[in-house]
Amino acid sequence: MVNIDVAVIGGGVTGLASALALARAGATVCVLEREPKTGRATSTHNSGVIHAGLYYPAGSLKAALCVDGRDRLYAFCATHRIPHARCGKLVVAGTADEIPALEALHRRAHQNGVTSVTMVDASFVKHKEPHVHAVSALWSPDTGIVEAEALVKTLEQLCRQADVAMVVGSPLIGADATADGLVLTTPHERFLASTVVNASGLYADANSALLGGQAFTIYPCRGEYAELAPSKRAMVNGLVYPLPHASGAGLGVHLAKTTWGTVTLGPTIRYQDDKDDYESGRIPLDDFVEPARHLLPWITLADLQPGGSGIRAKLHGPDTTFADFLVGRDTVNPRIIQASGIDSPGLTSCLAIGHRVASIWRE
């Protein structure tokens, strides 16, 4: 049996960033990842947007960790040459009656300390995005994009350089409490860990139960994408969002130009039972035309092609609109640090979450 200070369950961006921060804080660390490679779940099935922090309720962990994480991520990407761009984002009002909601979002952004966000007029939008329809917009210069796969790869390399043991293809399948820590079982090995970080995404609820931690439910919520046909990619330059759903259900189907030049349209929102099903019952391409026309009135079905999909690990079901990240010492078993319920803006926040996890471990 291997003795270790901290075992991190999950090799997505949350787990890898936590492992790196813990190792740099002096802990001996292993990452247990059930898949044969790290980052194969939600961490590489997303929009790749570095959020500025406009949307989240003031005082929430999402608001604080997004702003902190954004700054850390831009610096990290620059240092480690990860493809990224601080390209800015427009949140557009298509009609005058959407302007009050835009102004409310502007106020919220400022409450969250995102003071670079400004209200702009239709001519500003025309200059940035000549093919997008808007009567008014919010301009967020600190929003950007990152190549998520490269981020995962770099985090993993840095973990290895910091002597983190990367144990892939090794799902956590059992845990027993002893006086010295938790004995963790995978199909191949056993670890005695003084502390366990639960960063297991869609399976964080089941793994918390396995570890003897607090009870909560993760609700899988699929987001699907279409893409602009290659011939239309030049019609979009950056990030263009509609107003977020009034129901609070999400940020709305938006346009995102990736670091490799494709333009995605999405993601949609649909709760489902299965945590690993990315494909069955995909939304027909036709259904993307109407939300796309809200931003690009000229679009037709022929301009679209099918895109990817991802599954959000939400801490609330369809009847509620907001749940904060769960980052902190477990309320039942203090040997566990939860880094769970990390839906959007989790990619943006990962380095800030890792930093917080390491601080909790040191306390």
Ligand X SMILES: Cc1cc2nc3c(=O)[nH]c(=O)nc-3n(C[C@H](O)[C@H](O)[C@H](O)COP(=O)(O)OP(=O)(O)OC[C@H]3O[C@@H](n4cnc5c(N)ncnc54)[C@H](O)[C@@H]3O)c2cc1C
Tell me which residues touch ligand X (CB under 6 A): 9-15, 32-35, 40-43, 45-49, 51, 171-172, 199-203, 207, 223, 267, 310-312, 342-348
Q: How far is the CB of 99 from ligand X (least distance, A)?
A: 25
Nearest approach, Cβ of 54 to ligand X (angstroms)? 12
Grouping H, G, I as helix, E, B as strand and the rest as coil, residue 161 is: helix
Query: Distance between CA 121 and CA 118 in Å, rounded?
Result: 10
Nearest to 197 by CA among 3, 22, 53, 39: 22
Pure H helices in 143-282: 148-161, 204-211
- In the complex, what is the shortest distance from the CB of residue 121 to ligand X, in angstroms, rounded to a whole number? 27
- Is residue 339 within 8 A of residue 353, CB to CB? The reply is yes
Per the CB < 8 A criterion, the answer to whether 310 and 272 are in contact is: no
Residue 329 CB neighbours (<10 A): 15
Decide whether 136 or 256 has the Cβ nearer to ligand X. Answer: 256
Of 5 and 35, which has the nearer Cβ to ligand X?
A: 35
SS3 311: strand
Least Å distance, CB 201 to ligand X, is: 3
In terms of phi and psi (left: phi > 0; alpha: psi -120 to 50; beta: otherwise), the region of 44 is alpha
Beta carbon nearer to ligand X, 15 or 242: 15
DSSP state of 142: T
User: Which is closer to ligand X, CB of 27 or CB of 204?
Assistant: 204
Task: Report in angstroms how near the CB of residue 353 gets to ligand X at its nearest.
Answer: 8
Provide CB contacts within 8 A for 95, sequence distance 6+.
135
Angle at 75 between CA 26 and CA 87, to 5 degrees: 150
Query: Which of 45/136 has CB closer to ligand X?
Result: 45
Q: Which of 13, 121, 97, 102 is nearest to 55 (CA)?
A: 102
- Residue 212, judged by CB atoms within 10 A of its CB (0-12, 13-18, 19+), counts as middle
Query: Can you say whether the dihedral through the CA atoms of 159, 163, 168, 171 is positive or negative?
Result: negative
CB of 356 to ligand X, least distance (A): 13
Cβ nearer to ligand X, comparing 238 with 310? 310
Q: How far is the CB of 303 from ligand X (least distance, A)?
A: 21
86 half-sphere exposure, CB direction, 13 A CA radius: 12
Residue closer to ligand X (CB basis): 304 or 353: 353
Shortest distance, CB of residue 100 to ligand X, whole angstroms? 26
- If the CB atoms of residues 136 and 309 are measured against ligand X, the closer one turns out to be 309
